[in-house]
Amino acid sequence: MNMIRTAMLLALMTALFMGVGYLIGGTGGMMIAFLIAAGMNLFSYWNADKMVLRMHNAVEVDERNAPEYFGIVRDLAARAGLPMPRVYLIQNDQPNAFATGRNPQNAAVAATTGLLDRLSYEEVAGVMAHELAHVQNRDTLTMTITATLAGAISMLGNFAFFFGGNRDNNNPLGFVGVLVAMIVAPLAAMMVQMAISRTREYSADRRGAEICGNPLWLASALDKIARRAKQVVNQDAERNPATAHMFIINPLSGERMDNLFSTHPDTDNRIAALQAMAGEMRATPEPQRREEDHGPWDTRTEAPESRPQPQPKSDPRWGRDAKGRKGPWS
């Protein structure tokens, strides 16, 4: 259903783009604006991973300097049938994470030190499974196409501002058409873009829960991240707000409502959906398992005291040595 909804929203975005071109009437200007926007977004598509990782000062880690974090991603990628992505760590106290890359073969996942410090092993697994779900669903490609069309619509709006008043053009609505192209169309494009982003988050939540094996791990992580994100300002995200839609929880201050202008669904709604999914999974009998099959991805209910607890900040497995020095930055 989410895929159908996304396809419908993309079709609406395409129709909106063609409508703006019709309102302006200048087919030559429409094609020039589209080509410029497409070129800009094509460049971003091939280089978005490097650009975003650099914006947030992400440092690549491996099995030597962040063994447990790296191991979680490796195990989850294997469970999802994905190639091993590049793994990055961001020195930031706000717990958050994102995925980037144009396809599964060129993907990267990144988590902040705040996420690894404050979440349990299970919760980190839920978050990284969500990010791998974005990779598997090729959401980067979907959002790139959306960004291309939205950028083209905005550029057409600017074109209308400078050339829409020319009486020699074929604008069927005159000055009203120019106003629609300048104001209404870019706003509508932004709303459709936000709606697509939110739809993909719900899909990634569900697929991520399937990958890690327990929806409640991700639900618990979302609750912790959302509460902590309200208290910690992510300066890198504030300087680069265009990347906000990539994070599992909106890293910017001020946006906490599930409305048409949100890049993310309301966290409580996401948690409720995951809890409902957990109920469905409990209602389905599990196959018999050998005792040696029990591991970090076991979905059987355990007592809270038997679950892995959050790692201390000096834990070297998160990329820090015994004295608390941060491995990648030391």
Burial class (CB in 10 A: 0-12, 13-18, 19+), 55: middle
3-state DSSP call for residue 281?
Answer: helix
* 294 assigned ligand-binding residue: no
Q: Are 164 and 171 in contact (CB under 8 A)?
A: yes
Residue 134 counted as an annotated binding residue: yes
Q: Active-site residue among 60, 122, 123, 131?
A: 131
Q: Which residue in this structure is represented by tokens 């447990």? A: 68
Give the burial class of 118: count Cβ atoms within 10 A of its Cβ; 0-12 exposed, 13-18 middle, 19 or more buried: buried
- Where does residue 67 fall: left (phi above 0), alpha (psi -120 to 50 degrees), or beta otherwise? alpha
- For 141, 158, 179, 190, 293, the CA distances from 186, given in Å and listed in that order, are 21, 10, 11, 6, 53
Lookup: tokens for 87: 């793994």
- Cβ atoms 128, 111 nearer than 8 A: yes
Q: What's the rounded Cα separation, in Å, for the pair 50 and 86?
A: 11
C-alpha dihedral over 207, 210, 214, 218, to 10 degrees?
Answer: -20
Q: Is 130 annotated to bind ligand?
A: yes
**Helix boundaries (H) for 59-184:** 67-80, 113-118, 121-136, 139-163, 174-179
131 is catalytic: yes
Query: Side by side, which strands form the sheet with 86-90?
Result: 59-61, 86-90, 108-112, 97-100
Whole-angstrom Cα distance, residue 264 to residue 199? 9
Binding residues for Zn(2+), by number, are 130, 134, 201
Q: Which residues are catalytic?
A: 131
